[in-house]
Amino acid sequence: MNEDKCITAIILSMLTTEVERVNVNVVKSVTLAENTAAKFASFETTVMVSIQNLLNNFKEEVIHSVMQINSSANATTQPTRPNVDTTNNAQRKLDIVQPQRDSNDEIIAQVMGNLSQYSTLPHNASVCPAQAGQIVHNSSHQPFGSQT
C-alpha cells in the first residue's frame, strides 16, 4: 500500500505540472481570442462606417443629379408668361409644357421609322419590278421588292 501511495504521488506531481502548463496555454488562447474578437469588431465598425459614408454620399449625388436634371428640364420647357399689364386684358393661353426628349426617345423614333419603311409599299417607280424586257437595277435597301 505504501508503494501505491508513492506511485500515486509521483503521477499526481507529473499531472499537476502538466495541468498547470495546459492552464497557461488555455489562458493565452483565451486572451488571443479576445484580442482577435476586439480587432474584428473594430474592423467591422470601420468597414460599416466607411460603407455608410459611401452610401450617404451616393444618395446625395443621386438626389442632386435628379434635382439638377429636373430644374434644367423645367427651365428649358417653361414658356415665359407675358406681362399682364401690357396685354390689354387679352386672354392668356394655358401654359403647355412639352416633355424633353432624351436619347432613348430618338432611338425609338428611328427604329419605328425604319420599321414603317419596311412595312409600306414603295411609291417610287425605280423600285417597282421591270416591265417586260427591261432590267432595273434596284439599289433599295429594302429586303423584298413589291411583286405586282
pLDDT tens-digit readout, 32-63: 999 999 999 999 999 999 999 999 999 999 99
Q: Give the range among 7-21, 24-38, 76-90 with minimum mean pLDDT.
A: 76-90
* CA separation for the pair 94, 89 (Å, rounded): 15
Residue 50 has, within 13 A of its CA and on its CB side, a CA count of 6
Q: Which of 86, 91, 90, 146 is nearest to 118 (CA)?
A: 146
pLDDT at 148: 47
In sequence order, what are the residues at sequence separation of 6 or more whose Cβ sits closer than 8 angstroms to the Cβ of residue 116? none
Q: Which of 39-43, 68-72, 91-95 has the highest mean pLDDT?
A: 39-43
Q: Which three cell numbers stand for residue 56?
A: 450617404
CA dihedral 109, 110, 112, 118 (to 10 degrees): 160
Contact 108, 127 (CB under 8 A): no
**pTM of this prediction exceeds 0.75:** no
Better-scored residue on pLDDT, 136 or 60: 60
Please give the single-letter amino acid code of residue 97. V
Contact 117, 135 (CB under 8 A): no
Handedness of CA 86, 87, 92, 96 (dihedral sign): negative
Enumerate helices (H) and strands (E) in the chain, giving the number of each: 2, 0
